[in-house]
């Protein structure tokens, strides 16, 4: 049985996506455990230009697959990865759990009968090959999966879980893999556009800076709005500020407000009433800043800082320059 690990790197508009480096650090760990090699494949027209960036520690080979389309095309990528599986025979194929992967990875897994799991949050190597964990029922439970009997297992890995690999010394060989991709494209790329900025919709935000009763005074709100802007976050709040007429109810997180599931929820000065927690516990990562160490929000947060929210805000502002 092969023990090799293949990472499928991801790029967009000429830039390598961060998730690729996260997959590399996971891949290195996994390859170390399995005793196989770690190869990383980059697909696209001019894929070679990423070869240097992918020279992370533990990478044994950088593979390039030249594609006829400039941008990601799901059917082309599906065939390219299929070709890589045929030629490289990896035990594990790691993709990001990203929009691009959603377009081709499941099709490939279904078609080839691969071992398959999506949105995995941990991967280990066992006597039966890879073993993974992923959430179930909106992350209220964690499921443990194995893939006994599968020659190849394709995993899409949740971004933001693994630390991105640092660039390595550049010793890995770069090899072009030929896969015949002509005629595989089934969609026509018409262009990229920035999503139209609409009214505030906190349910769609990837990053929420959420403020609560700790704000103390209406006059402090503009300051946190500005901080949110500088962090690239959308400002939301708990109910007391809406009750007080300081925030519009469209920004209220909670059972009686909006249920949000951002990638990051930074709660400042929110103690965490049960109705509030019901609206935000689905966030991928929750950071809570509160001066009360007993605040219920720390019960659901992944990271907590017992601190004065204004002092932390001072420091954040300083650090942002």
> Which residues 116-155 are close enough to bind another protein by CB under 8 A?
116-119, 131-132, 135-148, 150
Q: How far is the CB of 315 from another protein (least distance, A)?
A: 3
User: Which CB, 87 or 142, lies closer to another protein?
Assistant: 142
Exposed, middle or buried by CB within 10 Å (0-12, 13-18, 19+), for 232? exposed
Positions in 74-93 near another protein (CB under 8 A): 74-75, 78
**Which residue of 3, 12, 151, 167 would you call a contact of another protein, by CB under 8 A?**
12
Task: Please give the residues from 39 up to 68 whose contact with another protein meets the rule CB under 8 A.
Answer: none
With contacts defined by CB under 8 A, name the span among 25-33, 40-48, 174-182, 264-272 that binds another protein: 264-272
Q: C-beta of 97: minimal distance to another protein in Å?
A: 7
Return the number of the residue (12 or 49) whose C-beta is nearest another protein.
12
* Complex with another protein: residue 1 or 244, whichever CB lies closer: 244
| Burial bucket for residue 297 (CB in 10 Å: 0-12, 13-18, 19+) | buried
- Taking CB under 8 A as the criterion, which residues in 223-242 touch another protein? 231-233, 239, 242
The 8-class DSSP code of residue 307 comes to: S
| Subset of 164-203 contacting another protein (CB under 8 A) | 164, 186-195
Does the protein bind another protein through residue 113 (CB under 8 A)?
yes
- Kindly write down the DSSP assignment for every residue of 97-122, as one continuous string: SSHHHHHHHHHHHHHHT-EEEEEEEE
Distance, CA of 14 to CA of 31 (rounded, Å): 28
- The smaller minimum CB distance to another protein, of residues 48 and 206, is found at 206
If one asks whether residue 16 binds another protein (CB under 8 A), the answer comes out as no
Cα 192 versus chain centre, distance = 21
Shortest distance (Å) from residue 93 CB to another protein: 12
CB nearer another protein, residue 140 or residue 171: 140
**5 binding another protein? (CB under 8 A):** no
Stretch that binds another protein, among 1-9, 29-37, 171-179, 204-212 (CB under 8 A): 204-212
Q: What is the distance between the terminal CA atoms of the chain, rounded to a whole angstrom?
A: 53
How many CB atoms are located within 10 Å of the residue 305 CB?
15
Task: Rank residues 37 and 156 by Cβ distance to another protein and give the closer one.
Answer: 156
When computed from its CA atoms, the radius of gyration of the chain, rounded to whole angstroms, is: 22
Site string for another protein, 296-315 (x = CB under 8 A): x-xxxxxxxxxxx--xx-xx
Closest residue by Cα to residue 211 from 150, 297, 146? 297
Least Cα distance to 24 among 177, 168, 146, 170 occurs for 168
- Specify the residue, 1 or 110, whose C-beta has the smaller distance to another protein: 110
CA distance 146 to 116: 9
Stretch that binds another protein, among 18-26, 30-38, 53-61, 169-177 (CB under 8 A): 18-26
Tokens of 279: 């609206």
**Which one, 60 or 103, has the nearer CB to another protein?**
103
CA 222 vs. chain centroid, Å, equals 30
N residues, the chain = 321
Instruction: Return all residues near 86 (Cβ < 8 A) that are at least 6 apart.
Output: none
């Amino acid at each position: 049985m092969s023990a090799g690990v293949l990472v499928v790197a991801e790029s967009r508009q000429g830039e390598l996506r961060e998730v690729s480096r996260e997959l590399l650090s996971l891949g290195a760990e996994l390859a170390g455990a399995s005793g196989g090699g770690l190869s990383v494949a980059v697909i696209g027209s001019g894929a070679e230009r990423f070869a240097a960036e992918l020279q992370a520690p533990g990478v044994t080979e950088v593979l390039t697959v030249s594609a006829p389309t400039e941008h990601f095309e799901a059917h082309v990528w599906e065939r390219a990865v299929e070709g890589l599986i045929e030629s490289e025979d990896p035990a594990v194929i790691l993709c990001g759990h990203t929009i691009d992967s959603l377009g081709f990875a499941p099709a490939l897994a279904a078609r080839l009968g691969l071992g398959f799991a999506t949105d995995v949050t941990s991967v280990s190597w066992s006597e039966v090959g890879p073993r993974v964990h992923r959430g179930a029922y909106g992350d209220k439970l964690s499921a443990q999966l194995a893939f006994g009997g599968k020659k190849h297992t394709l995993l899409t890995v949740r971004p933001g879980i693994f630390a991105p690999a640092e660039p390595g010394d550049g010793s890995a060989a770069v090899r072009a893999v030929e896969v015949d991709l002509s005629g595989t494209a089934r969609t026509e790329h018409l262009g990229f556009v920035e999503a139209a900025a609409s009214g505030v919709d906190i349910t769609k935000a990837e990053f929420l800076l959420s403020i609560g009763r700790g704000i103390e005074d209406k006059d402090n709100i503009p300051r946190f709005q500005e901080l949110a802007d500088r962090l690239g976050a959308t400002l939301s709040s708990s109910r007391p500020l809406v009750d007080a007429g300081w925030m519009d109810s469209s920004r209220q997180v909670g059972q009686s407000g909006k249920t949000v599931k951002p990638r990051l929820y930074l709660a400042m000065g929110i103690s965490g009433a049960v109705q509030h927690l019901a609206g935000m516990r689905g966030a991928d990562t929750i950071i809570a800043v509160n001066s009360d160490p007993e605040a219920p929000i720390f019960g659901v947060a992944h990271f907590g800082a017992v601190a004065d929210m204004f002092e932390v805000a001072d420091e954040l502002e300083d650090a942002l320059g």
